[in-house]
Amino acid sequence: MSGDVQEMYYLHGVYVTKTQWDMAVKKTLTFDKFLKIKNMEQRRVVSQEAGAGCFSKHPNAEWSEKSPHNNKLITIRNAISPSEDPSRQNQSLDIKIINYKDPSTGREYNSFVPARLYNDGKTEINNTTRMTDENSHELTDPDEAMAWKFGKTKEEYYGELVAEA
């Protein structure tokens, strides 16, 4: 703030509104409020600042145990209902979020991951139209979710990390 401009709010270099700033720094962001933030960069920095705890406030949120690599998977069952997204007709949508810390910075991040994967661990499946596909499974392993972010299977991803160390 200065004498010639109004208050301006930034998180990690991204302009946000006063309301978004307050939700982030006061950790009052909820999943429903998160979905209403239209700008993707604002959505990212607000959720990053608020932390994964904001998603755990959803009444249908389930947290996995921490993995051996310190990742957690958040599942929000029926996160988006048909009334919120008419194109879904009679189907609700589960949301999966991987919560992890960047090893180089120690910062906590949240990334959306698919609810279902092909058994090769790489390819996303639309979980509302192919739920019974024999070649798929529900994503429940936080380390598998982390590997998916890099287009790898769990074995490939963590094998490469061990090899680099």
101-116 pLDDT, tens digit per residue, is: 887 888 888 888 988 8
DSSP classification of residue 124:
B
Co-location of 73 and 20 in the same domain: no
For residues 36 and 94, membership in a common domain is answered with no
Q: How wide is the angle at C-alpha 151 spanned by C-alphas 161 and 85, nearest 5°?
A: 135
- Token representation of residue 32: 């429903």
56 plus 46 within the same structural domain: no
43, 81: one domain: no
* Total tally of structural domains belonging to the chain: 2
Instruction: Say whether 88 sits in a helix, a strand or coil.
Output: helix
Q: What is the mean pLDDT of the chain?
A: 81
Q: What is the largest CA-CA distance in the chain?
A: 64
Note whether 152 and 114 are same-domain residues.
yes
Same domain, 22 and 98: no
Does residue 55 sit in the same domain as residue 113? Answer: yes
The pLDDT score that the predictor gives to residue 65 is: 92
Asked if residue 73 and residue 120 are part of one domain, the reply reads: yes
| pLDDT digits 0-9 by tens, 27-80 | 999 888 988 999 999 998 998 899 877 887 788 889 899 999 999 999 988 877
Domain range for 93: 51-164
- pLDDT score recorded for residue 4: 74
| Helix residue ranges per DSSP H, the chain | 18-25, 31-36, 40-50, 53-56, 142-149, 154-164
Q: Cα–Cα distance between 81 and 89 in angstroms, integer?
A: 9
Residues 14 and 32 grouped into a single domain:
yes
Residues 6+ apart with CB under 8 A from 86: none
Query: Whole-model pTM?
Result: 0.69
Cα distance between residue 19 and residue 72, in whole Å: 28
Beta bridge partners of 5: 2
- Is 7 a residue whose pLDDT tops 60? yes
